[in-house]
Amino acid sequence: MKKIRKAVFPVAGLGTRFLPATKALPKEMLTVVDRPVIQYVVDEAREAGIEHFIFVTGRNKTAIEDHFDVAVELYDTLSRRGKNEILERLKSMQPQPGETSYTRQQVPLGLGHAVWCARELVGNEPFALLLPDMIMQSEPGCMKQMVELYEETGGNVLAVEECDPSETHKYGIVGRGRDAHTGFEITSMVEKPKPEDAPSPFYINGRYILQPEIFSLLENQETGAGGEIQITDAMLRLHAEQPFYAHIYRGSTFDCGSPEGFIKANIALALKDETLRPNVASFMQDLLQKA
C-alpha cells in the first residue's frame, strides 16, 4: 500500500459569491481570524503527513503562490525589529523548497477537470484531495483521520457527515455497507437525491483520498451537471472497479465558500482563541441583547 504523500488543492474558482471582495483577491486568501482560508486547509494536510502540496490555480491567483513563498524583505524587517515570535510562526507555516507545485486550469470546466489538470504532478500514486473552501476543525484533523482509515482498508476514502434526512437533496449522498474501522464501505453514490430516494443520510463533505486510476476516467469523462466535468461521475465509474470507504467525520465543518459559512468560521475560531474569546464573547452577548 502506497503512502499518501501528495495533496491536490483546486483553487481556480472565481469566488463570485464574495464579489466585490474577490475582484482582485482570491477567495482562498480571505482571512478567517488571522490566517487565510487556504492556510487552514494546508495545515490540515500537513498534519496528515502530506509532503507535496499541488495547487490547481487560475488567473489572478498569484497571491496564493506569494503567500506560500519566502517573503525575504518581510522576514528581514521582522528580524531587525526583534519580532521573532511572529517570524518563527510565519516560517513554520511555509512549505520547504520543492514541496509546492502549481498548475493552471485554463478553462473552468469543474472540479473533475481541475483534478485532472494535476495528473502529471500526482503521477501514479494515491493522493489526497481537499476542497479549499472547507475548514474542518477537529483533533486530529479530518485528513489525518482519513489516512488512518486508508491504512486499514486501502482503496479510496471519502469523508462523510450525517445530515438531516430531509436535506439529502443538497448533497452527494453515499450508501452504507459493512462497518470498516472509523466508517463503512460505500455501496453507492447519488448526487442530490430526493429524501425518499436517498440510500442514507451521509453526505460527502469535501475531503477525498483517491487512487490514480481516477485520472484516466476523468480524461474521457463527459460533462455532467452544469456543463462541467464532475468528480462524482468519475468516482462512480471507479467504484465499479475499486472499493470505496467512508470515514464518518465528527467535528466542526465551515463552508467558507458561502458568506454565511465564512462568518460562522470567523466567530467559531475567534471564540476558540484564548486571547480573543473574552472580548468576542462579551461583544456577541451585547449584540444579542440589543437585537
pLDDT per residue of the chain (291 residues) written in tens, 0 to 9? 789 999 999 999 888 899 898 888 999 999 999 999 999 999 999 999 999 999 999 988 899 999 999 888 999 999 999 999 999 989 888 888 899 999 999 888 889 999 999 999 999 999 999 999 999 999 999 999 999 999 999 999 999 999 999 999 988 999 999 999 889 999 999 888 999 999 999 999 999 999 999 999 999 887 776 678 889 889 999 999 999 999 999 999 999 999 999 999 999 999 999 999 999 999 999 999 887
pTM of the model: 0.92
CB 147 within 8 A of CB 139: no
Could you tell me which residues are beta bridge partners of residue 186?
176
Angle at 142 between CA 132 and CA 12, to 5 degrees: 10
Dihedral sign computed on CA atoms, order 25, 30, 34, 37: negative
Distance CA 108, CA 58 (A): 9
Nearest Cα neighbor of 232 from 188, 167, 263 is 188
Spatial separation of the C-alpha atoms in residues 85 and 103, rounded to whole Å: 33
Q: Enumerate the CATH 3.90.550.10 domain ranges in the chain, comma separated.
A: 6-257
27 close to 37: Cβ distance less than 8 angstroms = yes
Q: Are 103 and 54 in contact (CB under 8 A)?
A: yes
* CA–CA–CA angle 165, 169, 170 (5° rounding): 100
- CA 131-220-176 angle, 5° bins: 50
| Residues paired with residue 79 on neighbouring β-strands, in sequence order | none
Select 6-257's CATH number: 3.40.50.1970, 3.90.550.10, 3.40.190.10, 3.30.70.1140. Answer: 3.90.550.10
State how far the Cα of 177 lies from the Cα of 193, in Å rounded to an integer.
18
State the Cα–Cα distance between residues 119 and 143, nearest whole angstrom.
21
Rounded CA-CA distance 192/56 in Å is 26
pLDDT at 175: 94
Distance CA 51, CA 47 (A): 10
* Burial (CB count <10 Å: 0-12, 13-18, 19+), residue 26: buried
